């Protein structure tokens, strides 16, 4: 299975690495990290550097395409090279997927029109700009297009994808290998659960950086 | 706050990036990715390359030291350069922490003697080799030494660390920014919950690669 994960300047690292850790454990999986040019890219917090191993121009197909999110997607929404590439690869995929604001790239490429879709909760209404129907769920499968919510949701999406594309047993084995039995210390992981004061501060900080 | 995350050949990416995504959002945090030499290192699945920005020899202190795990820790248990460095940095930290088999490096450095500690469930008994008391809990704080279980547990540990070192409100804000409201698709994330057949297959695969 050929898995292509797109990387870009100001990516959120966990958006890519959560699903990577799951999907790369599919037997026979080959994972490529694709970007505008080969070499280092800086993630959103500017401390971590990830390596692009394959330029977009050298990738012609994928079984599974994943667009992670991060503040850098704002620029990509207007990047015709990236949007053309995304549309072209989408015609070859079994699954076209996103984490967090990666769905805004899929939207800008015109791939979410008429579909239900999700993204980071703080910018969820923006999906309507692309003709999608924003829904507040963690993972939103719509045929071959699967979008997921903010950052950490990519782990849940990837496990669902393994169950569908390979088997439930394989998904369980990967979940166990990653000891993914989460114990979040607070009930604060969604805007519905978090204290209102916390929610408004986080919303403001994120919306400001994505406008 | 100076945060040092150790990188090494055959690291499990999510062990490092889960906590990174949480800890790097502490206001004023500075994160360094440290390793034997500056430059690229290949993670365990061999697809992803992370960059070491600072050689161990250039790091003299840390407020928080984090050892991720992965199959590569087996070699580090006998690597005196790495163990000496770990002991030296430990004398300067507020918290010395590990994810997954990272605790075997702390153990080999002699830092777990007499303490409760945890690691990936499949190799948990090995902690006794280093004079630690293996416990099957997701996060095990013992004063300034905090160990966590397999791979994904580092996210839970990091949020607990933020609550203790900064504030509960900040930990909640980071949890919400990462939309960490997990919905694992299966009850298979711990050896107690997973089907026995899945558990034995995963145990065998992991133990084989760590012996």
Tens of pLDDT, residue by residue over B9-54, are 999 999 999 999 999 999 999 999 999 999 999 999 889 999 999 9
What backbone phi and psi angles, to 5 degrees, belong to B199?
Answer: -60, -45
Would you state the pLDDT for residue A208? 79
Closest in B30, B45, B179 to A153, CB measured: B179
- The mean per-residue pLDDT over the stretch A91-97 comes to 98
Is the predicted pLDDT of residue B210 greater than 80, yes or no? no
pTM above 0.95, yes or no: yes
Cβ contacts (< 8 Å) between B178 and chain A: which residues? 14, 150-152, 189
Question: Closest chain B residue to A34 measured between Cα atoms?
Answer: B48
Q: How many CB pairs under 8 A join A and B?
A: 226
Distance of CA A152 to the CA centre of its chain: 9
The C-alpha atoms of residue A83 and residue B206 are separated, in whole angstroms, by: 40
The C-alpha atoms of residue B196 and residue B116 are separated, in whole angstroms, by: 27
B177 in Cβ contact with A151 (< 8 Å):
yes
Does the beta-carbon distance from B50 to A51 stay under 8 Å? yes
Question: Closest chain A residue to B180 measured between Cα atoms?
Answer: A189
> What's the burial of B113, exposed, middle or buried (CB within 10 Å: 0-12/13-18/19+)?
exposed
The C-alpha atoms of residue A27 and residue A69 are separated, in whole angstroms, by: 26
Cβ contacts (< 8 Å) between A150 and chain B: which residues? 177-179
Does the beta-carbon distance from A186 to B168 stay under 8 Å? yes
Question: Closest chain A residue to B184 measured between Cα atoms?
Answer: A156
> Which stretch of DSSP H or E encloses residue B98?
strand B95-99
A134 in Cβ contact with A118 (< 8 Å):
yes
Closest in B32, B151, B188 to A172, CB measured: B188
Closest in A177, A198, A205 to B172, CB measured: A198
> Distance from A11 to chain B by nearest Cα, in Å?
11
Question: Closest chain B residue to A12 measured between Cα atoms?
Answer: B21
Closest in A31, A120, A198 to B179, CB measured: A120
Would you state the pLDDT for residue A209? 76
B32 in Cβ contact with B54 (< 8 Å):
yes
Does the beta-carbon distance from B33 to A25 stay under 8 Å? no
Residues of A serving a catalytic function are 100
B130 in Cβ contact with B98 (< 8 Å):
no
A174 in Cβ contact with A22 (< 8 Å):
yes
Single out the catalytic residue among B100, B105, B132, B166.
B100
More confident residue, A45 or A192: A192
Is the predicted pLDDT of residue B187 greater than 70, yes or no? yes
Would you state the pLDDT for residue B211? 61
- Percent of chain A whose predicted confidence (pLDDT) is above 70: 99
pLDDT digits (tens, 9 = 90+) for B83-98: 999 999 999 999 999 9
Would you state the pLDDT for residue B207? 84
Active site residue B100: yes
Does the beta-carbon distance from A194 to B206 stay under 8 Å? no
Does the beta-carbon distance from B176 to A185 stay under 8 Å? no
Question: Closest chain B residue to A4 measured between Cα atoms?
Answer: B47
pLDDT digits (tens, 9 = 90+) for B47-74: 999 999 999 999 999 999 999 999 999 9
Would you state the pLDDT for residue A211? 60
Does the beta-carbon distance from B194 to A175 stay under 8 Å? yes
Task: Give the strand pairing for B145-148 and B139-142.
Answer: antiparallel
- Short-list A208, A86, A85, A81, CA closest to A145: A86
Cβ contacts (< 8 Å) between A186 and chain B: which residues? 159, 163, 168, 171-172, 175
Would you state the pLDDT for residue A207? 84
- The mean per-residue pLDDT over the stretch A67-76 comes to 97
- The mean per-residue pLDDT over the stretch A1-7 comes to 98
- The mean per-residue pLDDT over the stretch A187-193 comes to 95
> Distance from B34 to chain A by nearest Cα, in Å?
11
Closest in A32, A151, A168 to B179, CB measured: A151
Closest in A13, A121, A202 to B20, CB measured: A13
Does the beta-carbon distance from A20 to B13 stay under 8 Å? yes
3-state secondary structure of A95: strand
- Percent of chain B whose predicted confidence (pLDDT) is above 70: 99
pLDDT digits (tens, 9 = 90+) for A6-63: 999 999 999 999 999 999 999 999 999 999 999 999 999 889 999 999 999 999 999 9
Question: Closest chain B residue to A43 measured between Cα atoms?
Answer: B21
Exposure string of B171-198, with b = 16+ CB inside 10 Å and e = fewer, is: bbbbbbbbbbbbbbbbebbbbeebbeeb
Does the beta-carbon distance from B178 to A189 stay under 8 Å? yes
């Amino acid at each position: 299975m050929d898995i292509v994960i797109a990387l870009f300047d100001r990516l959120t690292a966990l958006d890519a690495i959560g699903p990577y850790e799951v999907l790369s454990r599919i037997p026979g999986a080959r994972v490529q990290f694709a970007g505008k040019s080969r070499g280092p890219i800086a993630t959103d917090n500017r401390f971590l550097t990830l390596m692009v191993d394959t330029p977009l121009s050298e990738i012609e197909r994928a079984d599974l395409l994943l667009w992670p999110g991060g503040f850098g997607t704002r620029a990509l929404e207007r990047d015709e090279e990236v949007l053309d590439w995304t549309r072209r690869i989408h015609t070859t995929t079994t699954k076209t997927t996103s984490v967090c604001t990666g769905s805004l790239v899929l939207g800008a490429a015109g791939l979410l029109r008429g579909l239900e879709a999700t993204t980071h909760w703080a910018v969820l209404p923006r999906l309507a700009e692309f003709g999608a129907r924003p829904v507040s769920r963690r993972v939103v499968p719509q045929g071959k297009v699967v979008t997921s919510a903010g950052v950490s949701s990519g782990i849940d999406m990837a496990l669902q994808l393994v169950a569908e594309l390979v088997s439930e047993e394989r998904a369980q084995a990967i979940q166990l290998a990653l000891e993914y039995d989460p114990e979040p210390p607070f009930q604060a992981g969604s805007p519905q659960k978090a204290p209102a004061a916390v929610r408004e501060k986080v919303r403001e900080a994120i919306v400001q950086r994505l406008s």
